[in-house]
Every structure is written in C-alpha cells, then in structure tokens.
Amino acid sequence: MSHLFYFVVPTDSPREGEIILQGEEAHHAIHVVRIKMGEPIAFIDGQGGKWFGKVVDFSKDKLMAKITNYHYTTLTRNRTCLFVGWLHRDSAIEPLLNYGTEVGISAFYFFQADRSTRPLRLSKKLKKWVVQSCKTTGREWFPMVEAYPNLQQAISGFQGKLLIATIQSNSIPIHQVSDLSTCGLIVGPEGDLSDKELSIAKEAGAIPVHLGPHIYRTELSALLGSIFIMQKQGQFDNPPETHFST
C-alpha cells in the first residue's frame, strides 16, 4: 500500500458515495502532494470521523474521491492532559504541540506561570501545528489547546488524577501511581514552577513524580511524562490500523 495522505473535511461530509475536497486542502492535495487519479486518500474532521477512498476526479481547485470506508472513533476513556507553564520560545512550543499531538495527548492547557518570561498568547499557528500533526498521523480527534492566566485557574475543575513533574526528594516514578485513566501532568516553564505554584498544585491533590535521573527541558519533560502515562494506560497496545480497503 502506498503512503496514505490525510486531509481535513467538514464534519457533515457524506459517509457514503463521494466526498469533495476544496479550498486550501484541495490545493495542498493537487499542487503540493500531487496526488494522482486512482490513488488512495483519507480524510479526517477532527471530531472522530475518518474517511478512506480513492481519487476519481480533480481540477485546478477541487478534488473528488469515492468513499470506500468510513468509521467513527469515540473519545477514549483514557485521557492524558498537559498543564504547561508558558514557554519563552516558539521553537519549544512547536515540537511540544507537534509530537504531543502525534503521540495522542488529549489537551494542552497553557498557563501564565510565575516564571514565564513573556505574556501568554495563543496564536492561530498553534492550532495549525496541531491540525497538521493530526493529518500526519490520521488522528481522528483534534486535541484541545487552551490558555489560562495562572495555574490555579488552569487546574480548577479538572476531573482526574493530577501529577506534577518535579525534582523534589519526595517524588516517585509515574509507574507507582495507580488509576491513571484520566490524568493531568503539570510541568513548569523554563526556571520551573515557583514555590507558590508548587503549593497550589499540592493543595489540588497533585502527586509529585519524577522522570528518571536526569533533568530535561520543559518540552521534553512534558512529552516524556505524557508517554509514561499513556504507556501505563495501554494507549500503545493496539497495532496500526488497516481500515483502508481497495
């Protein structure tokens, strides 16, 4: 089977018959990917829907595919959410969103930390990075990306087990924590969380955990911690999907 390219379509796209790709997505398929007649193609809507098909026609700005398979994926019961202090470099935020989306992180909750060195602002490019990563992997659900003025508001109302990545002496390995079906991992920005923020996290019931013997950059700590959590959740147990059929 050739490499399968994913493109984004509206949630109300038909589930049988033919699906039409237009606009920026069609331009990318026709003029960048240069997809050809008869080639396999796939679509996602970011809300659980996934379509598989074959290209049957295209023009300068429109592509049509015959649907061969459609399936809907419900949101998994196991969720891994990141609470990350706002970082001072887009070059750190971009790989965090890209790789975090690809491995399956459910939500990115950025907050203005006491030691964040620039104001928190969610630009359109953050969503673009997330969507592009979903297209790379064929992930059915777009993860949430939200911003909060401080840690207190970010974790307020979170329903699940909270962990906090820290180098404190009382921290434990993640695998020793039970019931991680819905889990939130708190990671500080460059310079780590302040003592006040550590107290806020602990008062909310956050369990101090460590990620091994080394100290990592924020973006790597967030990714490693999330992978450890998802591994314990069994998120990587299933084999790659093979829904596409000729």
Domain tally, the chain: 2
Indicate whether 67 and 93 sit together in one domain: no
Position 163 scores a pLDDT of 97
- Tell which of 49, 72, 95 closes a domain: 72
Dihedral pair phi/psi, residue 81, rounded to 5°: -115, 140
Q: Is residue 1 part of a domain?
A: no
Q: Give pLDDT tens digits for 214-237.
A: 889 999 999 999 999 999 999 998
Say whether pLDDT at 245 is over 80.
no
Say whether pLDDT at 244 is over 90.
no
Q: Is residue 242 part of a domain?
A: no
Q: Name the residue with higher pLDDT: 34 or 168.
A: 34
Indicate whether 86 and 30 sit together in one domain: no
Indicate whether 164 and 88 sit together in one domain: yes
Indicate whether 115 and 229 sit together in one domain: yes
Residue 14: give its domain's CATH number.
2.40.240.20
CA-based Rg of the chain, rounded to a whole angstrom? 20
- Please give the residue range of the domain that contains residue 229: 79-233
Q: Is residue 245 part of a domain?
A: no
Position 242 scores a pLDDT of 64
Q: Give pLDDT tens digits for 52-81.
A: 999 999 998 899 999 999 999 998 888 999
Q: Is residue 137 part of a domain?
A: yes
Q: Give pLDDT tens digits for 176-220.
A: 999 899 999 999 998 899 999 999 999 999 999 999 988 899 999
- Tell which of 23, 39, 72 closes a domain: 72
- Tell which of 56, 72, 88 closes a domain: 72
Dihedral pair phi/psi, residue 228, rounded to 5°: -60, -40
Indicate whether 30 and 12 sit together in one domain: yes
CB distance 132 to 5 below 8 Å: no
Say whether pLDDT at 246 is over 60.
no
pTM score? 0.92
Position 19 scores a pLDDT of 95
| pLDDT category of residue 243 using cuts at 50, 70 and 90 | low
Q: Is residue 162 part of a domain?
A: yes
Half-sphere exposure of 83 (CA within 13 A, CB side): 29
